[in-house]
Amino acid sequence: MLTYVFKAGPMIVPILAASVFGLAICLERFFTLRRFGRLDMEQFSKAVCGKVLLQKANEAVTLCKKHAAHPLPAMFVAALENRDLPREELEKMLERMGNHAVHDLEKRLGGLSAIVGIAPLMGFLGTITGLIGAFMAWEKAGSDITVSALAGGIYQAMLTTAAGLMVAIPLYICYNYFISRIKYYAHELSNYSSQLLEALARGRLL
């Protein structure tokens, strides 16, 4: 492996650095989304809305505060504690909180997207510089050119392209997975917030 790295030329260094940063972002986002998904939002929402329908707002707040680290209970607490506000204002407040939660989930994904786009380009740049080196060697050797004289540039050309794609492809898969999960969570936050507002209205607390 080290032999291939040395033969890949200087462009392999930023490609390897990009792979390290990309892996770090993926691991951090994976554990963040995993923590987010630990709460069964459907069952939690049913439990809170059930108490609201029974006009047990204080018990609902207590239940929410047991999971205060999660955005959905925090949104529910805000709605329950401000239930005297007009419904339109509550909807805007919950929308702002939901957008903030989604924004937190999207942190560093811009950097991951940049790495996905840049890694293949760095690989292609390594390919171009490698081919330039090969042709320069050919020009210098003239009719005495040998395969071994061209091998260094060709190695660099092929290895940097392969390295760039090997970095970009798995990171691209991870990026799309994160985006799909965030879209799902954003929909769930909006859906269960609406259910709470309906429960408040039906429980005559709103």
Per the CB < 8 A criterion, the answer to whether 106 and 182 are in contact is yes
Q: What confidence score (pLDDT) does residue 193 get?
A: 94
Give the number of domains in the chain: 1
Per the CB < 8 A criterion, the answer to whether 157 and 137 are in contact is no
For 148-183, the DSSP string reads: HHHHHHHHHHHHHHHHHHHHHHHHHHHHHHHHHHHH
Which parts of the chain sit beneath pLDDT 70? 1-9, 134-135, 137-153, 205-206
Structural domain range at position 77: 2-202
Per the CB < 8 A criterion, the answer to whether 168 and 116 are in contact is yes
Q: Is 70 helix (H, G, I), strand (E, B) or coil?
A: coil
Side-chain half-sphere of 30: how many Cα atoms within 13 Å? Answer: 10
pTM (predicted TM-score):
0.83
- State whether the Cα torsion 9-162-172-39 is positive or negative: negative
